[in-house]
Amino acid sequence: MKNFLQTVLQKTRVVITIVSLPAFYAACNSASSNIPVQARVEGFVKAEPAILPLADAATVLQRAQVPILCYHQIRDWSASDSKTAKDYIVPVNNFREQMKLLADSGYHTILPGQLYDYLLKGTSLPSRPIMISFDDSRLEQYSIASQEMKKYGYKGVYFIMTVSLGRPGYMTKEQVKQLSDEGNTIGSHTWDHGNVKTYQPEDWEKQVDKPAQQLEKITGKRPEYFAYPFGLWNKNAIEQIKQRGYKAAFQLSAKQDQDNAQFTIRRIIVPGQWSTHTLFKWMRLNF
């Protein structure tokens, strides 16, 4: 019997074809091209998420607005501070009370990237979302505000005016980098806080392009979000910001542009005279 099987095997030509997975996939890819990527056999190709179209301005305007607070100086008042100055100076204890009450009330901070995805892609946000933003690169935003926010796991967006970096009373480059490394967002607030409505064509490089390059050099990340100085903007400014690759821009409390809602996102300044109760009241009225 053994000799018989050997004879049969010797006289029979057996051809075994080994097809590697890549070769097999290449051969049948055309046949499966109409099958969704997610349905193809795992191991042949890496599944890719579907790319959804971004929402138009009308859809963005219809979405529920997220409260966005805007802070400038976090320090106690001095005898020389005028009534107008106090509109931009929040005493330290007031800021601490505001952060604590926000946390105790169940608010969760979000960053501009999350807001962008919500507005343009319809992604979900955490319960009771809020954004905390800071303008002008003041030192106490790093030394006081960010440290207080850490107690609650809060993150913020810091819109940097680059002319002031390293000057007395303002953040250093190293502090800006640390904020970025800790998960906060670093945005652009121009070079020296010039009103964008007055810019001539040659001003955009100095006020917007070079600051963006400097911030990228500091943090390793190109800034994607912009805050208009004084909250002022016009149609030309929107187009200039869009051309420079920014994903969104922030103003203050004026009506949003109907055609470019994501480039006129609303915020409210928190005046130093406000109690925490007043802050919550204005949040409810404005968002």
| pLDDT at 47 (0 to 100) | 55
Residue 113 CB coordination number (10 Å):
14
How does residue 28 score in pLDDT terms, banded at 50, 70 and 90? very low
**Which range of residues forms the domain containing residue 167?**
57-286
Query: Same domain for 102 and 132?
Result: yes
**Could you give the C-alpha distances from 17 to 11, 20, 24, 230, in angstroms and in order?**
19, 10, 12, 73
Looking at the structure, tell me whether residues 156 and 204 fall in a common domain: yes
Give residue for tokens 């499966």. Answer: 32
| Distance separating the N- and C-terminal Cα atoms of the chain | 90
Residue 151 has pLDDT above 80, yes or no: yes
Is residue 259 located within the same domain as residue 203? yes
Predicted pLDDT at 50: 61
Please indicate, yes or no, whether residues 26 and 167 belong to a single structural domain of this protein: no
Do 198 and 65 sit in the same domain of this protein? yes
Average pLDDT over residues 80-85: 94
Q: What is the pLDDT of residues 175-214, one digit of tens each?
A: 999 999 999 999 999 999 999 999 999 999 999 999 999 9
Do 85 and 199 fall into the same domain? yes
Question: Do both 22 and 112 map to the same domain?
Answer: no
pTM of the model: 0.82
- Note whether residue 7 is domain-resident: no
User: Given pLDDT bands bounded at 50, 70 and 90, which one contains residue 49?
Assistant: low
Residue 12 lies in a domain: no
d(CA 236, CA 50) in angstroms, rounded, equals 34
- How big is the chain, counted in residues? 287
Burial class (CB in 10 A: 0-12, 13-18, 19+), 40: middle
Identify the three-state secondary structure at position 173. helix
Same domain, 26 and 101: no
Number of domains in the chain: 2
Residues 231 and 195 in one domain: yes
DSSP letter for each residue of 35-91: S-GGGSPBTTB------PPPPPHHHHHHSPPPPEEEE-EES---TT--HHHHTTEE-
- Distance CA(112)–CA(156), nearest Å, equals 9
Phi/psi of residue 108, each to 5°?
Answer: -120, 130
**CA-based Rg of the chain, rounded to a whole angstrom?**
28
Same domain, 47 and 61: no
- Kindly state the tokens that stand for 121: 């892609």
Say if residue 263 is in the same domain as residue 249: yes
230-273 residue pLDDT tens: 999 999 999 999 999 999 999 998 999 999 999 999 999 999 99
Task: For the chain, give the mean pLDDT.
Answer: 88
Last residue of a domain, one of 51, 74, 94: 51
CATH number at residue 217: 3.20.20.370
